[in-house]
């Protein structure tokens, strides 16, 4: 793979880390899910970099990006990405978002329509979010993440981490997703995401159903056929809320579609890209 630029940039009051292939007239902007990193998209970057410029940031609270005590609503994360697009002068982008990243992409398309040429929503999160955004002050949020609260971190060894994740995630793609965020620290092996940030993302959850009807760009709506995170009925219902939407199901794939069946995802993405260009 040719050199990828790795850099930090100040956006919306925080230092945001991103990866950038630099070359290409049209930008694919890839947004990872909760607990993830821009590194999630390495395979996609290899697959599409000959034809597109690809930018993959670590979103606030994740990876090498700042983890402030602040709001973590989807519109806050969308504003981070809007300022990134403005500063890199890379819009309008084709946005590809997974899970939380898909929710952020949807808010970006609604709040900043000129930034988004088209949107691929992959296994979107926030289906059952609250009707009203929480008004709890950020400094009153306990730094306890429900998913990882009982995980035995920091791990003494990398092998301990692998064994623990193997017990928690039957699919190899789930284990690899978290291993991508695992680093060695002076205390042992721990994850790069902030527990406070993960708790704040949950606290400031927004109901994405209210946003979807306001999207006007072309949308590819993707569900993994074996997903436990997004039911088929919910995916069909949500896709019908979007005016210009193609909904597909990827066989032999769970929530992490891009890792479980990348070839079929890329085949469908290729078709979508041809249709919008």
227-248 in b/e form (b: 16+ CB < 10 A) is bebbeeebbeebbebbeebbbb
For the residues 8-30, what does the mean pLDDT come to?
97
pLDDT one-digit tens code per residue, 221-243: 999 999 999 999 999 999 999 99
β-pair partners for 9: 16
Length of the chain as a residue count: 277
- Distance separating alpha carbons of residues 261 and 24, to the nearest angstrom: 26
120-179 confidence digits (pLDDT tens): 999 998 777 777 889 999 999 999 999 999 998 999 999 999 999 999 998 899 999 999
Tokens of 173: 């793609």
Structure confidence by residue, pLDDT tens digits, 171-184: 899 999 999 999 99
Q: Are 80 and 16 in contact (CB under 8 A)?
A: yes
Residue 1 has pLDDT above 80, yes or no: no
**Interval 67-74 mean pLDDT:** 97
Give the burial string for 174-202 (b: 16+ CB within 10 Å, else e).
Answer: bbebbebbbeeeeeebbbbbbbbbbbbbb
Query: What is the Cα–Cα distance from 101 to 81, expressed in whole angstroms?
Result: 11
What mean pLDDT, rounded, does the chain reach? 96
Q: What angle do CA 80, 23, 10 make, to 5 degrees?
A: 25
What average pLDDT does this structure show over 111-116? 99
pLDDT in tens, 207-217: 899 999 999 99
* Per-residue model confidence (pLDDT) at position 215: 98
Which residue segments constitute the domains of the chain, with CATH numbers given? 5-138+194-276 (3.40.50.1820)
* Residue/partner pairs of 169-174 with CB below 8 Å, 24 or more apart: 171/254, 171/256, 171/260, 173/254, 173/256, 173/259, 173/260, 174/254, 174/255, 174/256
Looking at residue 207, its pLDDT comes to: 87
pLDDT value at 277 more than 70: yes
């Amino acid at each position: 793979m040719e050199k990828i630029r790795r850099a930090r940039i100040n956006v919306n009051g925080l230092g945001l880390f991103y990866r950038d292939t630099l070359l290409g007239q049209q930008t694919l902007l890839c947004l990872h899910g909760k607990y993830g990193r821009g590194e999630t998209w390495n395979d996609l970057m290899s697959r599409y970099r000959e034809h597109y410029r690809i930018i993959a940031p670590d979103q606030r609270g994740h990876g090498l990006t700042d983890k402030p005590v602040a709001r973590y609503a989807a519109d806050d994360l969308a504003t981070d990405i809007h300022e990134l697009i403005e500063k890199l002068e890379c819009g309008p982008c084709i946005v590809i978002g997974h899970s939380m990243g898909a929710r952020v992409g949807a808010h970006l398309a609604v709040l900043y329509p000129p930034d988004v040429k088209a949107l691929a929503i992959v296994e979107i999160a926030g289906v059952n979010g609250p009707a009203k955004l929480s008004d709890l002050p950020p400094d009153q949020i306990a730094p306890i993440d429900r998913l990882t609260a009982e995980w035995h971190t920091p791990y003494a060894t990398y092998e301990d981490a692998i064994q623990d994740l193997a017990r928690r995630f039957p699919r190899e793609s789930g284990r690899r997703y978290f291993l991508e965020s695992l680093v060695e620290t002076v205390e042992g092996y721990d994850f790069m995401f902030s527990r406070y940030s993960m708790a704040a993302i949950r606290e400031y959850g927004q109901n994405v159903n209210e946003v979807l009807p306001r999207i006007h760009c072309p949308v590819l709506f993707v569900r993994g056929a074996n997903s436990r995170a997004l039911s088929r009925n919910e995916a069909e219902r949500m896709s019908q809320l979007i005016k210009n939407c193609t909904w597909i199901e990827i066989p032999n794939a769970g929530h992490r579609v891009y890792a479980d069946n990348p070839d079929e995802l890329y085949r469908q993405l290729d078709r979508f890209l041809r249709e919008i260009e």
